[in-house]
Amino acid sequence: MTLSILGLLLALIPPTGAAAAPPASPAASATSSATPHELKTIVTVKSSPYCNALAQHFNGALVPMVANDRVFDAVDTQLVDMNEMFNYPDFVNRFVDLRTKIVKESDTLGRSLSPIRSEIDALRQSASLSTDPQAVKEMTEAASQLQDAYKHQFQLSTDLYNLAQFMMTYNPMRHHPPLGGWTPYENTVPADEKNMKVVLHFDQQRQSIDTSEDKAVDAATTAAETQCSAASPSPSPKP
């Protein structure tokens, strides 16, 4: 996301004599989270270096990633409100409120990323605890899918950080409302280019995250069932 696009989006000023402001949007857009991602933690039966590492590092990565998904749910609501805030006479108060929330969410996301990456790296490295090619493949696949979900969380978190930083320096009072709340140029810009969720590729990133998390859970569950359940043979440890 470029600051010039953000500048355009945040420069939309309400028309003179805008209607009285209704309460801020109470519900998040259902596009990304109508069905919340279901968290399944991995519980092993056998105790072995491979199985213990699978449970520890997979859960260590997925649990905070799902927590980030809940943060993105809140951000979804905030971006919907941001698209509408300049329609109302109290747009300055709305802007300040949204800025406070987005800065907070961005900080939460940013602090989570490094520990998640460390757990994914540890999971990938732990595949070498077994000499069984199938066991190695299953744990490596779980780590790979987590890595893909992490990549999209990182990208979206970075864009939200840039948005938060731009909002910290933006003065919503510096413009005079043009006729109808739009400049002649802005009237020629397609609607999607003035939609913060579209500019951030927000829904697409959410879908990619959910898909990769689901695949990671499937891969880790397969590894747990085939390598670590009571009926499965113990993964062959490295000598």
What distance in Å separates the CA atoms of residue 42 and residue 86, rounded to the nearest whole number?
Answer: 46
Q: Which two tokens stand for residue 92?
A: 């300055």
Q: Would you say 224 and 48 are in contact if contact means Cβ atoms under 8 Å apart?
A: no
Q: Which two tokens stand for residue 69?
A: 């998904």
pTM: 0.77
**DSSP assignment letter at 39:** P
pLDDT in tens, 223-238: 988 988 755 555 555 5
pLDDT in tens, 141-175: 999 999 999 999 999 999 999 999 999 988 877 66
* Mean predicted confidence (pLDDT) in 112-130: 97
Contacts of 128 (CB under 8 A, 6+ apart): 136, 238
The CA–CA distances, whole Å, from 20 to 14, 90, 203, 230 equal 12, 8, 30, 65
